[in-house]
Amino acid sequence: MSEASHRPDFSSRIERLGRMIPDPVLLFAGMYVLTLIAAALLGGHQFQTPGAGGAAVTQTIKPILETEHIRWIFDNALVTNWLAFGNGVLGVILVVTLSIGVAEHAGLLGALIKKAGRHVPLKHMPLMLVFLGIMSSLATDAGYLILIPLAGLLYAALKQNPLIGMAAAFAGVSAGFSANLVPATPVDVIVGMNAKIFAESQGVPFVDAHGVALNPATMNYYFMVASTVLLALVGAWVTKRFVAPKLARVPFEVPADLDLGQFDLDEGERRGLKWSAFGAIVALAVIAGFAYGPLAPYENAQGQRVMPFVNNIILMISLFFVIVGVAFGFASGRFRAAGDVVKAMSKQMGAAGYILVLTFFSYNFLALLTYSGLGAYITYLGAQALLSIGVADLPILLLLGFVLTTAVINLFVGGLNSKWLLLGPLFVPMLYQVNPQMTPDLVAAAYRVADSSTNIITPMMSYAGIILAFMRRYRPDMSFGELILMMVPYSAAFLVCWSALLIAFFTFGIPLGF
């Protein structure tokens, strides 16, 4: 029997296994119940963890079913444990989502993709598509729903197999999801703000390897910039070396109703791009005014240097996207009144509804885990297990072990946010307890490497079915197994090269961000 005959069965088994795993919301709801039961059974149990300065600190698991603790659950469920969790991390995420929504629904991101595609020769096309895919993580829908179909159109217009361009774009959008040249993206905010919460909840200092306080939104920025360059080059090489030669021999068809002119900019989009460039200049001028004006650095009464601009960089980035998006929207005709901008924000917030549901259950679970003492106990047990096998003095092995663990879990549990909320509270303090070189920014960077690298080879990725449907326009009989096999070279190359980059940053003491 041929190898190809096994592919549908193999992919079906993977898909069935993946679908057996409940939605992350249900996972967190279930873990909340298990935490209640475990805290009730272990209530009063004491253990010791290292505290500040190395002194032992005695911890006690709370008997959670006692009256005062039940009151705590109900008194804090809505505000403290959800809306105000982590000093309002949910609000920060939603503000970034609003600003990106203006630029996305104005059509700015799609127009930029079209313009770039018409001015790049074929030999450089894979590099451009992977790079644009990485940059589209500013607004994931733009990457999955705009860039990948347009990549197919572009290659079809050039009489090349459209799947080549779509594979390169898919690799950039999904496997390079955590990288970007723009600081304080929604991913940066989600990962960074929660990493701070995970660290501080168990007394882990939120500082880098040099003892410098971390900014949650930019703590991995230097690493992400280097990652963007690396992944674009590696993705282009994989496309040319493995994917394009193989797909060049595969037959494809161009649907009769496919309008290859969709890749051309219309008059409104051309006018919008001109005005968005002006809007970018205005936005940068406004931001510079804040940076050198009311948000300029100063020393407080205690003699400490305070940097308000850096502390508010998330709002500055959000302001930039709103100004540029509004300029494009009105110039292109997509926006005709101020109410259209509000509609764009509202539409984006509608897509963020799942974030609200997920965070209600996950943040309440995390709060209960911390309050009950079970989180510290699980961390303690995990740290003791790692110490017992003698890896405390092997930080690179610890790092690679975490990367591989997360990469495997990613094949079965979809969603960057949900996995980080699941793994972060355990591994951020645990790895630090085993070896203080495993700082929160390093663990977060390792998580991003692992999570993104295997996104393109799992049926649990939320857009997997949509991507397959896009590709079936050109090859109707394409199976999910064939899609996975097509993307395996990208996943393997990204995981190896990206992990090597992280180890290089760690080994040579290069700051991951600022």
Please write the tens of the pLDDT for every residue from 405-426.
888 877 766 566 667 877 888 8
- Euclidean distance between CA atoms 491 and 510, whole angstroms: 25
Angle formed at CA 65 by CA 373 and CA 71, multiple of 5 degrees: 90
Please write the tens of the pLDDT for every residue from 206-262.
999 999 999 998 999 999 999 999 999 999 999 999 999 999 988 998 877 665 556
Please give the residue that has the higher pLDDT: either 482 or 12.
Answer: 482
List the single range of 2-6, 178-182, 242-246 with lowest mean pLDDT: 2-6
Per-residue confidence (pLDDT) for residue 372, from 0 to 100: 93
Please give the residue that has the higher pLDDT: either 414 or 503.
Answer: 503
Relative to beta strand 298-299, strand 56-60 is unpaired
Mean pLDDT over each residue of the chain, to the nearest integer = 85
Per-residue confidence (pLDDT) for residue 6, from 0 to 100: 46
Q: Is the pLDDT of residue 47 over 90?
A: no
Please give the residue that has the higher pLDDT: either 275 or 183.
Answer: 275
Please write the tens of the pLDDT for every residue from 70-105.
999 999 999 999 988 767 768 877 887 788 778 878
- Euclidean distance between CA atoms 180 and 9, whole angstroms: 37
Per-residue confidence (pLDDT) for residue 263, from 0 to 100: 64
Angle formed at CA 403 by CA 399 and CA 408, multiple of 5 degrees: 150
- Euclidean distance between CA atoms 135 and 448, whole angstroms: 15
Once rounded to an integer, what is the mean pLDDT over residues 395-404? Answer: 92
Q: Is the pLDDT of residue 462 over 80?
A: no
Per-residue confidence (pLDDT) for residue 12, from 0 to 100: 60
Once rounded to an integer, what is the mean pLDDT over residues 317-329? Answer: 92
Nearest to 438 by CA among 222, 217, 207, 221: 207
Q: Is the pLDDT of residue 54 over 70?
A: no
Per-residue confidence (pLDDT) for residue 260, from 0 to 100: 58
Q: Is the pLDDT of residue 440 over 50?
A: yes
Q: Is the pLDDT of residue 51 over 60?
A: no
Once rounded to an integer, what is the mean pLDDT over residues 373-378? Answer: 85
Q: Is the pLDDT of residue 297 over 70?
A: yes
Please give the residue that has the higher pLDDT: either 53 or 480.
Answer: 480
The answer to whether residues 228 and 180 touch, using CB atoms and an 8 Å cutoff, is: yes
Once rounded to an integer, what is the mean pLDDT over residues 45-51? Answer: 78
Per-residue confidence (pLDDT) for residue 2, from 0 to 100: 42
What is the DSSP code (8-state) at residue 298? E
The answer to whether residues 399 and 503 touch, using CB atoms and an 8 Å cutoff, is: yes
Centre a 10 Å sphere on the Cβ of residue 469 and count the other Cβ atoms it contains. Answer: 11
Residue 213, beta-bridge partner list:
207
